[in-house]
């Protein structure tokens, strides 16, 4: 497929996991990609892989918790490639705590990366996406629709991202832009495999969150993001798209 020929995509969280898989997928389908992350070595490895495969990619260090860096990343995409067609807000973090023990700085960090960053990136990107008839794809989580023990900050941020998606979709209902979200369940990424759990948690409260079918590979989420960003999804707007192996069906 060549669904993204002559299209430009800005993808956050690009150095690993779902963000990396999304960069590889969109580049393989013809997109020019600006990949952003705080992990310089991960970005370098990604760029080499995509360029060796004949794809087009530029990278930029960006902490999405900072508004000025979000604005600069969008400006860089347009300056380098001349336009912007897709914003994929993939960057995210999760922290597990007993709720009374959540440190203030970690609460603020989780909200900043998972919710505030996508807001500021969308704010900067929308004027350019309106020119190209482009789209925003936010990566939320099933934790934002069903709740998850010991992750109050994460659930709040992902639930907020779902509502941000819906709010923007309503605001731009009559204009030439599409805004959707994917809600993955357990996914086999570095973020999930490196989680630190607090002592004495009740495992029965969280063991079912991976579902009976187990963890999904990040490439499956990249496929969903690619679909929502493509012209094949031209009538999909304001969708909250579950990709969680059926975890939220019950």
Do the beta carbons of residue 46 and residue 14 sit within 8 Å? Answer: yes
Do the beta carbons of residue 191 and residue 94 sit within 8 Å? Answer: yes
154 as an active site residue: the answer is yes
Residue 37: Cβ-neighbour burial (10 angstroms; 0-12, 13-18, 19+): buried
Name the active-site residue from 150, 154, 172, 227: 154
Task: Give the pairing of strands 32-37 and 8-12.
Answer: parallel
The C-alpha R_g of the chain, in whole angstroms, comes to 17
Active site residues: 154
């Amino acid at each position: 497929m060549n669904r993204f020929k002559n299209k430009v995509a800005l993808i956050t969280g690009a150095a690993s996991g779902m963000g990396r898989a999304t960069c590889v997928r969109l580049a393989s389908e013809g997109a020019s990609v600006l990949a952003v992350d705080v992990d310089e070595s991960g970005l370098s490895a990604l760029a080499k892989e995509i360029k060796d495969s004949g794809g087009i990619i530029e990278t930029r260090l960006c902490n999405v918790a900072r508004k000025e860096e979000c604005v600069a990343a969008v400006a860089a995409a347009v300056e380098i490639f001349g336009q912007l067609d897709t914003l994929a807000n993939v960057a995210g973090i999760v922290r597990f705590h007993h709720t009374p023990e959540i440190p203030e700085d970690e609460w603020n960090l989780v909200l900043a990366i998972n919710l505030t960053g996508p807001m500021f990136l969308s704010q900067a990107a929308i004027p350019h996406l309106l020119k190209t008839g482009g789209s925003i794809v936010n990566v939320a989580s099933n934790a934002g629709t069903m709740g998850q023990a010991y992750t109050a900050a994460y659930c709040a941020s992902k639930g907020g991202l779902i509502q941000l998606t819906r709010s923007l979709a309503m605001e731009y209902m009559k204009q030439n832009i599409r805004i959707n979200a994917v809600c993955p369940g357990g996914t086999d990424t570095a973020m999930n495999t490196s989680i630190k759990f607090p002592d004495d948690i009740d495992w029965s409260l969280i063991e079912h969150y991976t579902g009976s079918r187990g963890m999904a590979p990040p490439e499956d989420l990249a496929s969903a993001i690619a679909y929502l960003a493509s012209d094949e999804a031209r009538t999909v707007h304001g969708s909250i798209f579950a990709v969680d192996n059926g975890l939220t069906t019950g």
